[in-house]
Chains A and B, each alone.
Chain A
């Protein structure tokens, strides 16, 4: 057992004792190290001012041994960051000079008050670092090479700016000369860090201070054992919601168990079926991040990709996992309607082995999971839509990006001719759990795929659900959305109307 966290900050080794470990990385950077460039504004992952790069050991076969991704340091507690390398805004200059991203932000007036700027610069450097992967460097060879507008925007949805209106920041990103950008692995040669991480990773981390324990098991068996033996254990995966509750709602569990050191659980692959008619299934390991899932969905299920694209922010998706989103059990979780829709199975592992729980049976009530005390999610088996199915996913929120949904819906229809043979309808944000709506499904099944059918189904949807009014929307709003979404689905899927729907 190891009683300290090994962390590198801007290339320098830090050893963090248990007494310091129960704090967000942002507090550690600002208060313990005096790296005050990293700002804390919201302390809940919704503004990006605290963005830092985190470098972790990459899976075998990747070109660099440490892979750096942007995260919100305000909702990453130190025990989640054992054996990682943090790069803060202070660590971005090259030989004391502004790097091409920093210089571009200066030249394009991308900074006004400056408070959000470190976060933007870090996230933008993350983009430049990604784009400067080996194959891209070859592409840039000898000619100026810049990020596209979409790449810039996609990388910055997790950062809020109140001064610029973003125009200057977008221009700054698009003006970055990637050819001049030194990658993080060039800036911080990782040989020593990697060796140190590998040596430390063998030794399980157990931190005890002030009556609290943080434990990073290195096998699923020891994780299950810890769960079975200890009371009040909170499992932390990406921590993007748990840490918010620690920051804002006084959550201070006696035991936190991070999945960070668990081996494996990173599988993300399609299980091909021998039977041509049988559905393909995507196997998603519990440690697969939402960002990795987003990439894989781009071609596999574009509809789900669109949801993941607006899900939180890059910083959230780089930390959060599908398993974490499921275990968190929110009725407005953005990933779960699709899992309900496709009748996913959750593989859970406990001391006595592994079992699979159908998605429909996974929740017993608001944030109540059908997990045994010693169990944790190890894998998600996600059946994929087939070519003959019409699948649409909806996420309604006040703002398109980085916003918690007021209402979600997922609809899957199989047509035989113009008759609806099978219908799956799932709503989120209309009750304590994400729910399938059998009444609406019944109203669709066997009917013609035409406007009147969906209008009638919408009326039934409205009568069936009982949403509440809260800060994200009124009951009336949600009722109307449930009704209208059926019609919207029709216009988006009916071939004769599709042209109109897509404008």
Chain B
């Protein structure tokens, strides 16, 4: 019986539940170890006039202070090398490191920070997408994907809606903050224990900035206490600082960010401001889309180029767009560089089209599911993406049909309408959103992995890959894949600490593809060993059983035994075979390498097939809103996904529920609030509210379809990121609820749909219905701003009133035609 497909507990679970799992800050301090922290810029934008460290150096317990002058290089970046680690002249965000502090105690670090004398001139910061556009500040060139003839389609369109969709950022809120411990070795070699998703990048950046050869730096990562993309690039900063101290002082050095500092000074999910113009017919079929995506990149590029690329390739989500022009820019602002976060720009693209679906439905007075189903990618036609990739084995229509049935969409829609017509105290909303997420790194060269498999003489195995464990269970998957190859108990396989010493030039554990890539590499390594073992076994069985020749091809591994399938009664145990092979001087270790086949993309034309396959799904959410307070309850969620054949269904379910709830937090309660200076105000769980146990929907149906036709390892599909996008159904259920009270307007809603945002919209529509003006909150100049300063206020939006032909069918009793004056007043109030 194959182990693949079984529910094996996470390989670290027993350690997790007993507190025995070790994270960076749990490693026992070694003699002489130094604590490392840093002193950063107080301004979002400022120029250093003078820096005096003399007093700080005198603080008892302070061992060393370093500035950019102590680095060999100071500029780095994964895509474009534009990031300054330690401020030289101009600081670009609050908290950008200026001085690295090495000390014997926390008290000394604190005293040193107070004793550093920094004179800095404050420069005008850019703190919004609008300001960046006005200043022409971008971090990269403009990217574009185009198909068909957009201009022609608009000129003949039945209907056109224009709008702006504002998407807030979010904090990763991994529980374990950024952390690194460095042990100096001989000849300037460094052993770097980093909480990173990308040990090779830590190795590269440490070596580069400290002027070391790559082979002098070993980066190790046993596990992270969560990553979610936040440790793909930004683990490098603390790693370099600790490495600098270790290299210079020859003492072990450890840096662990406090949660507050981590939230304040590391990058987040990219906020976006997306302007769109969509053409569609009276049935709701989209004929053209024009979208201008503005990503808020923060101060440096980091991974923004790739994030934006994924937004552009996911602007279609589950829907066929015959004519399209999608243009993307990355705005440079004075915030910490925004970075990878589960979904990697895909969500910010996909949510835009989901918003459009909801708006077309409201405009036409039709049901949004009907609009979505109509526009859904087809199986045999309408099945080529806007960048030219053919959808092979497209399961989207099946998923839409099956989920809409199993979640009783039609009945519940009728019940919601009835409820909203009757209840004076609450509003309900229902929404069904789709999901198509491309799997592979969009940078082709990253789609490779290597794995090292060592078999020991008792038949047990150690596997090492470049994959990093952050809770998602990649190590458990790889353990199962390797155990499966040799048909041995999974307990006999251990996946070792990830180390650049064992696996070189690895890609980040990212893009949901760690199991795909590293698991495949491990399987390839096993296959190479098996070829050799098979020869040994074949000879052995041929020698013992007169009548059969030595045929490697007929060697079978099953339930811990090895035999020739022609003589299954004569068996070797796996350890016996391993010992035979050892005595025959056969190598029992191997490296496997894997490359994702047949992918590629050319940005110069915006065309290609960048993805090996797509992970698909859909979800339906029902919400309840308090009309007086804006309080939101997610009452029921149904999810259906195509994730191929699961290697471990239990782990996959955890990825689906976890990603969904994380996405729901982004869409509802997680609200990044900034001061006018650019300082983050919601920098701890006191004010930044990720979902709590009671926020998990009371009815939460999660299921998968059967799909045996996936090209990936063991027929599995990646699942780490995609389900996060399913949480859009929660947001659009709120928007749907608002459509019952928004009068003649298409309701506007920006993320997150917090109680305050919802109440502001309820108030807006209540006032407008009474012919009164409404000014978006905060209505007065305030020192506290939401990140998305340019709220969707109606500016640059056209055709936001419901289609006259269909009127308002949402049954709110507010459908009577308003006078022209009233309409003008309403439009004015919206500005």
Residues on A lying within 8 angstroms of B by beta carbon are 30, 34-39, 41-44, 46-47, 49, 88-90, 92-93, 98, 101-103, 105-107, 109-118, 121, 153, 156-157, 159-170, 248, 394, 396, 398-404, 406, 469-477, 480-481, 484-485, 487-488, 491-492, 497, 500-501, 503
Contacts and interface: CB of A to CB of B under 8 A. Distances in A.
Contacts of B690: 160, 162
A475 B780 contact: yes
Contacts of B682: 471
Contacts of B661: 164-166
Give the interface size class of chain B: 35 or more
Contacts of A491: 424-425, 628
B259 A43 contact: yes
B470 interface: yes
B696 A165 contact: yes
A473 to B, nearest CB: 5
Contacts of B628: 481, 484-485, 487-488, 491
A153 B659 CA distance: 20
B516 to A, nearest CB: 19
23 contacts: A37-B20, A42-B259, A89-B17, A102-B17, A114-B12, A114-B13, A114-B16, A117-B17, A118-B17, A160-B692, A164-B654, A166-B696, A396-B629, A396-B631, A398-B755, A399-B692, A471-B681, A474-B778, A484-B627, A487-B628, A488-B629, A492-B425, A501-B424
Given A114-B223, A503-B423, A162 B228 contact: yes
A476 B779 contact: yes
Nearest to B727: A165
B106 to A, nearest CB: 10
Interface of B: 7, 9-10, 12-23, 25-26, 28, 172-177, 223-228, 258-260, 419, 422-426, 470-473, 624, 626-629, 631, 650-651, 653-654, 657-662, 669, 671, 673, 681-682, 684-687, 689-696, 700, 702, 754-756, 759-760, 763, 777-780, 782-784
B75 to A, nearest CB: 32
Nearest to B681: A471
B689 A399 contact: yes
A167 B19 contact: no
Given A46-B685, A111-B16, A162 B259 contact: no
Contacts of A471: 673, 681-682, 687, 784
B546 to A, nearest CB: 50
B13 A105 contact: yes
A113 B224 contact: yes
A500 B9 contact: no
B695 to A, nearest CB: 7
Contacts of A248: 260
A406 B669 CA distance: 13
B175 A41 contact: yes
Contact of A114 (B21, B653, B662, B778): B21
B176 A36 contact: no
Given A36-B26, A114-B13, 5 more contacts: A113-B223, A113-B226, A161-B175, A165-B696, A503-B426
Nearest to B685: A46
B654 A163 contact: yes
A114 to B, nearest CB: 3
A109 B10 CA distance: 7
A396 B755 CA distance: 9
A167 B650 CA distance: 12
Contacts of A488: 425, 626, 628-629
Contacts of B626: 488
A165 B662 contact: yes
Contact of A162 (B662, B686, B689): B662
B175 A157 contact: no
B9 A481 contact: no
A113 B225 contact: yes
Contact of A485 (B260, B423, B473, B629): B629
Given A157-B692, A166-B696, A399-B669, A88 B759 contact: no
A398 B651 CA distance: 30
Given A39-B175, A109-B654, A488-B425, A156 B778 contact: no
B684 A46 contact: yes
A163 B692 contact: no
Contact of B653 (A109, A166, A169, A500): A109
